[in-house]
């Protein structure tokens, strides 16, 4: 399937490493990056973009950061309203401060939003002719804090590699956040309370030490749905080769140790394997109650998605396109239903986006049941690739972010079009936003007489059962047409080989001599070609004039006609030589010559007189053998085809033709089996097939 989408692209003044959509106002996009500490000409910045229009991005505000500090490596919205928002960012302090053991890597900012756009504009586009609103307020730095354990290495390189916040709950329950180190001597993950505008050390809710030179490639958090007090969170993270989970309470006691459990590890290769490299985990996201993991194969041999239970059981695997050597980023968005789905359609759709090292973006959907019990062993679960967006950026993609989708509750008649946005950034200073239209589900009523019900939800792709039905129907029609075409082709080819159809395909030349003799049938129309027979059939209105001959005549011709064999009309070639076939053969063989050279160039011709020939001869008042008689005569070889068109030597006859002639000669007493076929070599035979064909045609 191919998705329809609109694309908006903008180039900023610095490389970009992080992006996040405002969960309450999906038209505002926050991106951050920079050249790093001490890079002249390229500053460190956070930029707020106006992304309401489907094909245009505009800057609302640009926050210039200190060039003595590191670039922005991670971003996340903490809180937001229609008027303002707070955001967290990962920014390292200067090298000097880091050497002193003070790296305030987690920052918070307050952003004043411009006035809302005019009403009446759809979610995917602004009102016609409307200009982007001008920004009137100023951003404000709210605070900074250090959660990581200070290091005293000579060359500090630790930075905040990952920042993740749990989704905001509808009941305004607590939110948990987590940060993870990068390039640290000993990896570390810190969990903190995220329902604040200015995080502090008092907000820490847990700490996990990973060990020497071990890092968390990615992490994610999700509230435990079954929790009555809404204070327990499920935490998951992955290193290069292992996946861990932990449960943490928001009201954490600092004396409690955070216990983690390894639920899955990539196994080591076989001892005899040529390469000892193992696949590496790159990204991880919760698709409650599952885990979605992106892993890369060693040596750039591709990437795949894993759908895993929190117990560590892998339910599904999805290999990405073969041209994608590795995956660089992953993001997901669940499309919730405001009302329960019908029992016949128990689906909730998750939109998945994966960035490849080849600057492509793969869009995939996964339909899961809306509530427990979940299907065992991945039954009815399937990844479905919807789109492959190629060359979305000039160079490597650094981050992906889906906008949050909150479905409307109004009836279909007043529900505006709905959209899902996907933002991506790159180190080439570019940010791209793809806008995908969503499909209502269940679909709106087709007639105005039907009751209008509130929308249950929206899907990125149409319901699978409808799409599969249409696909199967089209496939069945194509297979039926193909079968009919092949059958017609085979029938035409067989008819041409048998000689009962005009040549169109030239099938007679496809077979070797032995196969041709086995399949070809006698020409039941005498010397007439199949095309001539067909033309005759059409010219006579579809009915061929057949001679008046009863069915019993066919038997007479085939079985009782050969009792008198004569050598009529041979005088003009041999001085009136008459007699049966035996006499002519003996006369020929007395010259010890079986190739007729001893008979002065004259050849023996055995002719079966057909019904039509008898009529012609009667009209000419010339003596002819009676109907169905065999005649043997000598003719000069150069005149044989003139007087007996289609005559062929014994050696050129097909096997079934030889059998017919032997039976006729034996019945006429002019040949016996013990004499062998050698005596018939060099003898021409003519007319038998024509007589048989005429009789059969008359019967039909």
Domain boundaries, the chain: 1-146, 548-699
Query: Cα separations (Å) of 423 from 30, 64, 87, 432?
Result: 10, 22, 17, 6
Structure tokens at 213: 């030179």
> What does the alpha-carbon distance between residue 284 and residue 307 come to, in Å, rounded to a whole number?
10
Summarize pLDDT for 434-492 with one digit per residue, the tens: 999 998 877 766 665 555 555 577 889 876 554 555 777 888 899 999 999 999 998 88
Q: Is there a contact between 195 and 251 (Cβ–Cβ < 8 Å)?
A: no
Q: For CA atoms 286, 289, 206, 230, give the dihedral sign.
A: positive
> Shortest CA distance to 52 belongs to which of 110, 135, 118, 147?
118
Please compute the mean of the pLDDT values over residues 107-116 and round it to a whole number. 89
**Distance between CA atoms of residues 85 and 104, nearest Å:** 21
How confident is the prediction for the chain on average, in pLDDT?
A: 78
Half-sphere exposure of 329 (CA within 13 A, CB side): 25
Q: What is the pLDDT of residue 293?
A: 98
Between 243 and 679, residue with greater pLDDT: 243
Q: Which helix (H) or strand (E) segment is 490 a member of? A: helix 464-498
Q: For the segment 137-189, what is each residue's pLDDT rounded down to a tens digit?
A: 688 999 999 999 888 777 888 999 999 999 887 777 889 999 999 999 999 99
Q: How far apart are CA 284 and CA 293, in angstroms?
A: 5
Give the pLDDT of residue 544: 41
Query: What are the tens digits of pLDDT across the range 256-279?
Result: 678 899 999 999 888 777 788 999
| Phi-psi domain of 679 (left: phi exceeds 0; alpha: psi -120 through 50; beta: other) | alpha
User: How far is Cα 436 from Cα 450, in angstroms, rounded to an integer?
Assistant: 28
> What pLDDT does 346 receive?
45
Question: Per CATH, which fold does 1-146 belong to?
Answer: Methylamine Dehydrogenase; Chain H (2.130.10)
The lowest-confidence range among 322-326, 593-597, 598-602 is 593-597
Asked if 357 and 321 touch (Cβ cutoff 8 Å), the reply is no
- In the prediction, which pLDDT does 680 show? 84
Q: Give me the mean pLDDT over the 343-365 stretch.
A: 85
User: Quick one: what percent of the chain has pLDDT higher than 70?
Assistant: 71
- pLDDT, one tens digit per residue, over 80-110 is 988 899 999 999 998 888 888 889 999 999 9
Instruction: Indicate whether 527 pLDDT > 70.
Output: no
- pLDDT tens digits for 664-697? 888 877 888 777 888 888 888 887 654 444 444 4
Give the closest residue to 38 by CA, choosing from 73, 72, 69: 69
pLDDT at position 374 over 80: no
Q: Two tokens at 335?
A: 């499309």
Q: Is the pLDDT of residue 284 over 70?
A: yes
Instruction: Categorize the per-residue pLDDT at 347 as very low, low, confident or very high, splitting at 50, 70 and 90.
Output: low
Instruction: Record the pTM.
Output: 0.66
The residue among 114 and 563 whose pLDDT is bigger is 114
What confidence category does residue 624 fall into, taking pLDDT thresholds of 50, 70 and 90?
very low
């Amino acid at each position: 399937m191919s998705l329809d989408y609109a694309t908006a692209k903008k180039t900023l003044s610095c490389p970009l490493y992080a992006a996040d959509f405002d969960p309450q106002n999906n038209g505002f996009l926050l991106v951050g990056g920079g050249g790093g500490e001490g890079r002249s000409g390229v500053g460190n910045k956070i930029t707020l973009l106006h992304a309401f229009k489907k094909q245009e991005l505009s800057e609302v505000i640009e926050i210039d950061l200190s060039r003595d500090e590191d670039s922005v490596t991670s971003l996340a919205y903490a809180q937001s309203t229609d008027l303002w928002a707070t955001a967290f960012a990962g920014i390292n302090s200067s090298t000097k401060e880091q050497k002193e053991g003070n790296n305030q890597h987690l920052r918070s900012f307050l952003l004043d939003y411009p006035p809302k756009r005019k009403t009446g504009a759809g979610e995917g586009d602004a009102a016609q002719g409307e200009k982007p609103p001008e920004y009137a307020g100023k951003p404000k730095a709210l605070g900074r804090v250090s959660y990581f354990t200070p290091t005293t290495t000579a060359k500090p390189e630790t930075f905040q590699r990952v920042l993740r916040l749990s989704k905001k709950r509808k009941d305004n329950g607590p939110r948990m956040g987590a940060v993870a180190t990068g390039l640290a001597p000993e990896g570390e993950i810190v969990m903190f309370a995220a329902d604040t505008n200015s995080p502090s050390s008092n907000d820490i809710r847990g700490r996990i030490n990973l060990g020497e030179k071990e890092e968390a490639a990615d992490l994610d958090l999700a509230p435990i749905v079954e929790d009555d007090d809404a204070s327990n969170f499920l935490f998951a993270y992955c290193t290069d080769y292992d996946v861990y989970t932990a449960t943490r309470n928001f009201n954490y006691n600092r004396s409690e140790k955070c216990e983690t459990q390894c639920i899955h590890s990539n196994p080591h290769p076989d001892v005899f394997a040529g390469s000892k490299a193992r696949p590496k985990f790159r990204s991880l996201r919760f698709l409650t109650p599952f885990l979605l993991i992106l892993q890369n194969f060693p040596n750039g041999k591709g990437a795949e998605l894993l759908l895993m239970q929190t117990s560590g059981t892998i339910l599904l695997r999805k290999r990405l396109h073969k041209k994608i050597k590795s995956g660089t980023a992953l993001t997901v968005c669940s499309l919730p239903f405001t009302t329960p789905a019908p029992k016949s359609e128990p689906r909730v759709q998750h939109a998945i986006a994966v960035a490849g090292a080849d600057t492509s973006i793969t869009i995939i959907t996964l339909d899961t049941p809306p509530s427990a019990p979940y299907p065992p062993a991945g039954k009815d679960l399937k990844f479905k690739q919807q789109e492959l967006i190629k060359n979305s950026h000039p160079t490597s993609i650094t981050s992906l972010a889906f906008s949050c989708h909150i479905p409307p509750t109004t009836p279909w008649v007043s529900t505006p079009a709905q959209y899902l946005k996907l933002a991506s950034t790159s180190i080439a200073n570019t940010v791209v936003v793809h806008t995908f239209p969503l499909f209502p589900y269940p679909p709106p009523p087709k007639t105005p007489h039907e009751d209008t019900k509130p929308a249950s939800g929206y899907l990125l792709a149409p319901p699978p059962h409808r799409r599969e039905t249409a696909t199967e129907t089209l496939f069945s029609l194509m297979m039926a047409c193909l079968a009919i075409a092949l059958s017609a082709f085979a029938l035409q080819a067989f008819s041409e080989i048998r000689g009962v159809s005009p040549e169109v395909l030239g099938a007679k030349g496809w077979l070797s001599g032995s196969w041709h003799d086995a399949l070809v049938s006698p020409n039941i129309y005498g010397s007439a070609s199949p095309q001539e027979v067909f033309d005759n059939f059409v010219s006579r209105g579809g009915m061929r004039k057949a001679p008046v001959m009863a069915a019993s005549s066919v038997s007479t011709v085939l079985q009782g006609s050969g009792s008198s064999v004569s050598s009529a009309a041979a005088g003009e070639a041999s001085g009136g030589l008459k007699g049966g076939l035996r006499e002519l053969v003996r006369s020929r063989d007395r010259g010890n010559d079986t190739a007729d050279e001893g008979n002065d160039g004259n050849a023996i011709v055995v002719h079966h007189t057909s019904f039509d020939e008898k009529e012609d001869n009667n009209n000419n008042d010339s003596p002819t053998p009676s109907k169905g008689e065999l005649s043997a005569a000598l003719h000069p070889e150069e005149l044989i085809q003139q007087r007996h068109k289609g005559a062929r030597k014994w050696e050129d006859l097909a096997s079934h033709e030889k059998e017919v002639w032997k039976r006729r000669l034996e019945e006429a007493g002019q040949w016996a089996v013990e004499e062998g076929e050698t005596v018939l070599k060099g003898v021409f035979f003519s007319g038998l097939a024509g007589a048989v064909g005429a009789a059969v045609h008359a019967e039909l």
